[in-house]
Amino acid sequence: MANDARSNKLDALLADAARVFAQRGFHRTSMRDLAKASGVSLAGLYYYVESKDELLYLIQTRSFEAVIQGMDERLIGVTDPVQRLLRFIENHLDYFATHMSEMKVLSHEAGALTGDFLHDVNEKKRDYTRVLMDILADLDTTSMPAHVNRRVAAYSLFGMMNWIYNWYDPLGDLGVEVLAQGVCRLFLGGYIGLPVSEHSLPHASAG
Amino acid sequence: MANDARSNKLDALLADAARVFAQRGFHRTSMRDLAKASGVSLAGLYYYVESKDELLYLIQTRSFEAVIQGMDERLIGVTDPVQRLLRFIENHLDYFATHMSEMKVLSHEAGALTGDFLHDVNEKKRDYTRVLMDILADLDTTSMPAHVNRRVAAYSLFGMMNWIYNWYDPLGDLGVEVLAQGVCRLFLGGYIGLPVSEHSLPHASAG
DNA sequence: GCTTCTCTTGAACGATCGTTCAACAACCCA
DNA sequence: TGGGTTGTTGAACGATCGTTCAAGAGAAGC
């Protein structure tokens, strides 16, 4: 179909744009930069996208939808809150490590969106945060009380996970599994004093 | 002295600029915006500062120097690694909560610096990280082994602390002391399995 | 062969950007 | 009173920005 070709090219365009946005930042990247990076003329970009803002929005909302979908799949049928938390973290970090550019754009360029675009992504963000908060609430009733404010805990976890674009190199010595196990152990050990055993840790399966 | 007046006005200018940069982002903020916010004409800004880049650099390097100086003071004479870690966290969060705009600019606009400016701030960042890494290494030899990769632990802690500009409201219900205690408990509990007692927690004295 | 639809383009638009500069006011010291 | 330093300004500079548009290429359907 012609629609397929168009859709595929849009996908490729978004991937190129995410790479450049992650590297130079959204506002420092010009549409001319994107044209060069994607091999299309400047005017040609506007056949696939209405504006630079929509480009940013599409990158963010699509990435976020993929994260949420992965989370939904990994939580199906899992009721134990510790397991749910481990899978929540595992999913987030897996996607982050395998889609570093997109997730950096999602994390770092949150303030660059405006209007309906901003509202839509913020709604997803609220739902996603709610899932984590509910798991933590579950954890509080089934384990010893945490002594750590739940909001502080939730956003600290997001901080650990979303900060990694500032330092982590997916191609370096440090494997994703070490990263995921570290974050899981830090958070679970700190939040409920639970030493996370080897076999209950995420196996950090890719993608 | 005339030099004092000039220096004071520069300080005020940097404070205004930090506020606007934190709100709208560095690249979205024009020199005309800063002129309006500081009550000086556009051209007048260039009497105090050589360029927009230098403005950003001054905000970042001065804030970082203040953080480092506060840390140095709080670590004097303290040898117990747990206490050193608690004070490191306490200092970082205290400064963050009392200088939210500057620290957001320091955290979020790290990639906006270039050349010598970037190099200088990165050097400070490396030294500062080294202090934390040394504390963690100390912690490893005096407590049970951590089972958490040290680099992962260090950057996770920075993630928890530097992410707060994305969600924390210093004027809201959540006090700085709750924030600091939460982060300390999360990290220490997770890193060395240590339940942090009430009296050993930072008292979160303001700046 | 002709029309239609999809895709791409060079060239231009007005707006806004960071920065500069000559000019001027206000003050200090002689 | 007059010269020099300090502080401030409006107006302009060239560059770059996001976006538009008329025009054309190429394949598809008749």
Res B45: pLDDT:
97
Q: pLDDT-based confidence at B70, cuts 50/70/90?
A: very high
Q: What DSSP line would sit under A82-151, residue for residue?
A: HHHHHHHHHHHHHHHHHSHHHHHHHHHTGGG--HHHHHHHHHHHHHHHHHHHHHHHHHHHHSS---S-HH
How buried is residue B3: exposed, middle or buried, by Cβ count under 10 Å (0-12/13-18/19+)?
exposed
C-alpha angle A190-B109-A26 in degrees, rounded to nearest 5: 110
Q: Where does the pLDDT of residue B194 fall: very low under 50, low under 70, confident under 90, or very high at 90 and above?
A: low
From the CB of residue A5, how many other CB atoms can be counted at a distance below 10 Å?
9
Å separating the CA of residue A17 from the C1' of nucleotide C8: 19
How far is Cα of residue B107 from the mean position of the Cα atoms in its chain?
A: 7
Rounded Cα distance between B54 and B31, Å, is: 12
Distance from CA of A2 to the nearest CA of B (A): 38
What does the pLDDT average to over B53-78?
Answer: 98
| Closest residue in A to B150 (Cα–Cα) | A182
Q: What per-residue confidence (pLDDT) applies to B145?
A: 61
Higher pLDDT, B6 or A123: A123
| pLDDT score, position A165 | 97
Q: Tell me the average pLDDT across B177-186.
A: 93
> What does pTM read for this prediction?
0.92
On the CB side of B82, CA atoms within 13 Å amount to 15
The residues, any chain, with a CB within 8 Å of residue B73's CB and separated by 6 or more, are none
Q: Does residue A1 approach strand C to less than 7 Å at its CB?
A: no
Residues of A with CB under 8 A from a CB of B: 25, 27-28, 108, 110-112, 147-149, 151-153, 155-156, 158-164, 166-168, 174, 178-179, 181-183, 185-191, 193, 195
* pLDDT value, residue B189: 81
Nucleotide nearest to A45 (CA to C1'): C8
- Closest-lying nucleotide for B43 based on CA to C1': D9
Of the pLDDT bands very low, low, confident and very high (cuts 50, 70, 90), residue B197 is low
Contact A202, A86 (CB under 8 A): yes
The gap between B105 CA and D10 C1' (Å) is: 31
Q: Which percentage of chain A shows pLDDT scores above 90?
A: 81
> What mean pLDDT is reported for chain A?
91
- Distances from the Cα of B116 to the Cαs of B111, B113, B121, in angstroms? 13, 9, 9
Question: Does residue A205 have a pLDDT over 50?
Answer: no
The separation, in Å, between residue A1 CA and nucleotide C5 C1' comes to 14
d(CA B106, CA B60): 5
In the A/B pair of chains, how many CB contacts fall below 8 A?
A: 118
- The DSSP 8-state label assigned to residue A164 in this structure reads G
Tell me, what's the pLDDT at B204?
Answer: 42
